[in-house]
Structure 1
């Protein structure tokens, strides 16, 4: 068989296996058609305090809008103080410095301090009423060992909690200076204790109020790693006794309940009861908030989990943004989270006005809830009971066979630039296949991420190569403006199809539940954008710009000695700026944000289309491809080269669209389809404008020559 046939066969086989992985992922995404709201009780209480309506009213109001759940956090000493309970808390180390407070302590506590049974890291809690005292004591007894706390009931209801150095909360280091201003010592002053934030128990008054509201209650346990095993026992007992129908859990704080020693017990209980953990997306809209033990818990449950979006303050303050009259931009944020990032729970917090007050404008909530529900129905997503994703993963064998396409395309591209003998190609292919096989066997997870990146780069570069080859066929002046439009459209469709295939192929390596949950992510986004641009430059110089009798040195000299018109410099600088913005805005950790005009345009497209096409594709890159064809037809190879770089940005962007694994497959395909359609229309418009400008320039030049 000829080399080309062998390479095509390798690509076809790898694509067939990749489609199998995509099919499993598509079936999972097809089942994720229900979403819901979890009301944050603490925030609902603040809304009630800020308005003239009661908490009961607001819970009923949001239930009427479709909210199905409400979270109930465990009470802490801090929350009890915030709620106005009759208790006060002091750190022993602080009391030892305040004579009046120290002298008012019971003698039994003073004696324990002298004997070393109570030290400076401990927390002294004075409780002023018997009901609160009983609640605290029962909560401590049910959650912690007896060596953790001391009860002084006979002497004014004191409780002492056994703290440690690790429990202390410090200020930033304070530098102390001598008379010459020289630093002598840095001191971290303790200001509080983490013991204020340990779980005490669920407030039964709040529980009864929530139960009466008709909302489904989600207990949120608080972990304290020193006694994690007993905390799990209490959490299990609380659900079995008070909330046996709970099917989701949203963990509170920095750790999962039971971390580290009680994780096995928690996992088994959740598996037996069918309880699904809820993972809150981070503020960067990538991965999830870090909670110790959460990833291992989800893994132990075979990746049974649901993604949630929490309403950060900067989100819920967006009332009246982008010339909207109400909370439309908040609604847009929720819409994107659900449709584009497989979010199925909204951890809902009330909106806030410009003065950071809680908005009690009921019509805002009515309008945005109703509008969001209507827009989501167009995607087949409805209010209901969210489902977990289930578990799917690629086998080692499938991953290896899928990787063969990378080898084939890589060799094809190398041969497109450098002619190699059959033996060399066979040796190169054998070495690559062996290396890929070894990597897949030894480091399967690393192999998948690596192959996804290489696949994205190879297909983007292949699209660039085809673009250069097609550009080479364009004759000087053979095409009129309509001929340029037709030629450009055909090239764009072919190159877009290659990029679309590349996007599907590269994402197939990561079409696993853990990537869809963003417990692991596609890495190398910027690399996958930059390399195709570099490849396009090489392909253009070698295939289009280079004369038949040119050597590399001759071509380099010709490029360096070319007459560069000012217009080339201007266009090059503009394109360089666009490229900078493009690369800077790739990924999530970027300070370069879209302008208000762009956001308004994006929002409009989101409301009228199932998926918003990417701006850089249809507005910049694809018209640049049309301009490349026009300039090559006129014999302007330098301008054509500049435009080819702009064009490949859009082709790489299509591949990159699929690297967002949390985005549903159908949405990425539809998004690329709209980019192509809009790009064809705007490309034609661009050619008309360029042609008019060129003819005007020619007439002006003729007038000067005359």
Structure 2
């Protein structure tokens, strides 16, 4: 350490900047403790229709659970169809092919169609209801240009044409045609539907009145479609907000873009600022980042990050009723709890529970209509989040925290110094090279942060996530080498366990420092809102594994003689011996097993993985989650941490043959520590608590594994001695 005092001083200096940055982030996170719950009108309407109670009754009951708002979509052609209103809707080409249409429609419609003034992409809406026709026409005239639609008939059979293009057309996917021999024929595509069926027509006054009479407020959700987006539409929507007194606390946009984008978003931004309206960012179904909506990031930045992350209860979560051996909605409660405590969600768009698919052919489910189940879940959720200092109410937001370049630079210097420290142990760098590299790093880091700050912070975070766990494993290898070759065997088992626990804590502390660097250097509000994310998770898991193999070879070589292992260093002789090794079948089998385990490990890392946890593992996770403030990671306390303790135990007992495997498993736990802090939407305190829990359980499991191995070892020796005795007697 005396040879690296300058590097250690730089790291220590960077730790002060790290502490200051983390303190600011923790203060921001600690003031963000209020969660809002909003009901989905259409889903609750479907649930009420299956129950014995009215929709108003259900709204009144949920008001007693702390709910204040009901999310109400703007009406559209599609919503009117779903509500079985008296209208028919055709794509243009369908109208031409409808049998007997000449006998149905008025003469002016027949003449219009005969003149081929309807394209295959148009949407044709027909109804015999004067009231429905008036509502649709009023919505179109009040919101859109007259060039976008045309009234074909105002007589007894009302007909409206929406002018469509291929941009709005929706097609069925995977529609193949086959002949009698099963050979594919060229698919024939016609538009199945159109986005124009979703454009907003205005809000239903009856629905607004029902919500308000139940004691709740309306959270309006206009539908935005930029091809038809004009200032006229925006003014109509904002007028509705004022007329019906339903200014939303959070704007949750429907459609592919935010209201007003791209030409009139300044109007919306001004309105939101004047009325203290937050932007809602809907988390994707894979719980990573947000649903892509054009103009959303621009809007959030224009509002100075006055935004909340929104959790929509996706259909697969609604269906988690009586799931994982639970008797009710406990797993749904778990999903909401994780969203709120672990992912900075402060707005829940709630939908009722479902179960029992009615048929395998149609995606229809039965709603849970037992109010007691909802009351139980809400009370359970409220009690659990209270342990984190959270309450239900008007959703809170995080202050727009930013990390100054000066602090980023200081932390970057520490990461560079740690990287050079690692290289100096692996490559035996001399002082000139070591400090030359340090000087270059000290100069390049601030320059890079000035030129590309949002790229450089990711690069530094990635390096920290790789270097510090690797440094921890370097310490593990150094101590193991010392125990194996430079110390006499210590037969006192409890001493071996104490050394193993101590070294695990030290190695984990080094890896934890890397995780804290990641959490600090990526503390910008855009990371906390997950507008931007930490990239390179799989790389940060893989590189330390490869680095550990190199470190192990440097310390213990490949088939070295004991006398050659006194001074650790990378040697060409080890590489040559390995490359010219005779390949045995057992080596191939071993490599395949390690490869399969590695693939599963890497595939399980991240959100978009096809390899899911087993039911037993999910149940264990839930048990831990329900009894602890933060769920420790299974791979840490079951595998990584105990394996490191076993590695120290093997070194103490001169069992070199098992040290490499234990170290290979141990690196999983160390990279996992840094990965825990790479989930930037998770509050820092929760990541720290999770790591402490994992460490405590890991030490317990490590002691258990050591005791089991010791018992097995003694049984093996006893059986061996008995066999020798029997052979001597024979």
Report the TM-score when normalising by structure 2. Answer: 0.91
Alpha-carbon shift at residue 398 of structure 1 (Å): 2.7
The 8 Å contact of residues 96 and 102 in structure 1, kept in 2 or not, is answered as: no
- The 2-side partners of 1:123 and 1:104 are apart by 18
Alpha-carbon spacing, 1:178–1:64, altered in 2? closer, same or farther (3 Å): closer
Deviation at 1:337, TM superposition (A): 1.0
Q: Does 1:548 align with 2:560?
A: no
Deviation at 1:476, TM superposition (A): 4.7
Deviation digits for residues 2-56 of structure 1 (CA, Å, limit 9, x no counterpart): 7622212221222222222222211111111111211110000100111111111
Correspondence for 1:462: 471
Cα pair 2:427 2:570 within 8 Å, conserved? no
Check if 1:491 corresponds to 2:510: no
Contact 2:225–2:255 (Cα < 8 Å) also in 1: no
Alpha-carbon shift at residue 459 of structure 1 (Å): 0.9
User: For residues 515-535 of structure 1, what are the alpha-carbon distances to aligned partners after superposition, in whole Å with 9 as ceiling and x for unaligned?
Assistant: 111111111111111111222
Cα pair 1:74 1:221 within 8 Å, conserved? yes
1:571/1:677 Cα in 2 relative to 1: closer, same or farther (>3 Å)? Answer: farther
Q: Is the 8 A contact 1:70 1:217 kept in 2?
A: yes
Corresponding residue for 2:67?
A: 67
Aligned partners of 1:476 and 1:634 also within 8 Å:
no
1:98 aligns with 98
Equivalence for 2:273: 271
Other-structure match for 1:691: 710
Partner of residue 310 from structure 1, selected from 309, 312, 317:
312
1:287 touches 1:519 (CA, 8 Å); kept in 2? Answer: yes
Contact 1:605 1:612 in 2 (8 A): yes
Query: How far 1:184 sits from its partner (Å)?
Result: 7.6
Match of 1:333 among 332, 335, 338: 335
Offset, 1:108: 3.5
Number of corresponding residues = 706
Q: Classify the secondary structure of the residue corresponding to 1:591.
A: coil
1:548 deviates by 3.5
CA contact (8 A) 1:123 1:160 kept: yes
Residues 279-290 of structure 1 aligned to structure 2 (within 5 Å): 279-290=281-292
The alpha-carbon deviation at position 576 of structure 1 amounts to 6.1
Report deviation, 1:122.
2.4
Maintained 8 Å contact 2:217/2:246:
no
1:425 aligns with 2:434: yes
The worse-fitting range, judged by mean Cα deviation, of 658-667 and 135-144 is 135-144
SS of corresponding position for 1:353: strand
Q: Show CA shifts across 1:343-385 (max 9, x none).
A: 1122111111223210112221121111111111111111111
- TM-score, normalised via structure 1 length: 0.94
Q: Which position in structure 2 is the counterpart of 1:601?
A: 620
Contact conserved, 1:327 with 1:368, CA < 8 A, in 2? yes
How far 1:321 sits from its partner (Å)? 1.8
What does residue 441 of structure 1 align with?
450
Distance 1:103 1:3 in 2: 97
Q: Distance in 1 between matches of 2:458 and 2:368?
A: 45
Q: What SS class does the counterpart of residue 255 from structure 2 fall into? A: coil
Distance 1:204 1:498 in 2: 62
Give per-residue Cα distances to partners, 1:549-571, cap 9 Å, x unaligned. 78724334666899999999999
- Between the aligned partners of 2:684 and 2:170, the Cα distance in structure 1 is 46
* Cα gap change, 1:388 to 1:138, in 2 (>3 Å): same
Match of 1:233 in 2: 235
Check conservation: 1:461, 1:536, Cα contact below 8 A. Answer: yes
Q: Check whether the contact 1:568–1:639 (CA below 8 A) recurs between aligned residues.
A: no
Matches within 5 A, 1:300-699: 300-355=302-357, 356-474=365-483, 475-545=487-557, 547-548=565-566, 552-556=571-575, 578-699=597-718
Shift of 1:400: 2.4
Q: Deviations over 1:498-518 (max 9, x none)?
A: 111111111212111111111
Deviations along 1:166-215, whole A, 9 cap, x unmatched? 22222347667899998785431222222211111100000100111122
**Contact 2:121–2:191 (CA under 8 A) maintained in structure 1:** no
* Residue aligning to 2:16: 16
- The answer on whether the counterparts of 1:172 and 1:188 sit within 8 Å (CA) in structure 2 is no
Q: Deviations over 1:256-290 (max 9, x none)?
A: 22222222221222122111111111111111112
Residues 479-501 of structure 1: per-residue CA shift (max 9 Å, x gap): 42111111011111111111111
In the alignment, what sits opposite 1:207? 208
The secondary structure found in structure 1 opposite 2:345 is: coil
- Measured at CA, do residues 244 and 394 of structure 1 come closer, stay the same or move farther in structure 2, by a change above 3 Å? same
Distance in 2 (CA, whole Å) between partners of 1:215 and 1:437 is: 53
List gaps (5 residues or longer) in structure 2: 358-364, 558-563, 726-730
Equivalent position of 2:249 in the other structure: 247
Question: What is the CA–CA distance in structure 2 between the aligned matches of 1:407 and 1:58, rounded to whole Å?
Answer: 59
- SS at the partner of 1:511? coil
Secondary structure of residue in 1 paired with 2:192? strand
Contact 2:172 / 2:192 at 8 angstroms: preserved in 1? Answer: yes
Cross-structure match for 2:189: 188
Q: Residues of 2 paired with 1:668 and 1:642: CA distance?
A: 28
For 1:102-117, what aligned pairs fall within 5 Å after superposition?
102=102, 104-113=104-113
Q: Deviations over 1:195-245 (max 9, x none)?
A: 211111100000100111122211001012123133222222222222354
- Give the whole-Å Cα distance in 2 for the aligned partners of 1:691 and 1:179: 69
How far apart, in 2, do the equivalents of 1:172 and 1:485 lie?
61
Which position in structure 2 is the counterpart of 1:52? Answer: 52
Tell me the SS of whatever aligns to 1:588.
coil
Contact preservation (8 Å) 1:627, 1:686: yes
The question of whether the paired residues in 1 share the 8 Å contact of 2:171 and 2:193 is answered with yes
- Cα RMSD (Å) of the superposition? 2.8
Q: State the distance in 2 between where 1:184 and 1:281 align.
A: 40
Cα distance in 2 for partners of 1:591, 1:117 equals 49
* Aligned counterparts of 1:457 and 1:180: Cα–Cα separation in 2: 57
Structure 2 CA distance for partners of 1:575 and 1:137, relative to 1, 3 Å: same
Distance 1:493 1:80, change over 3 A: same
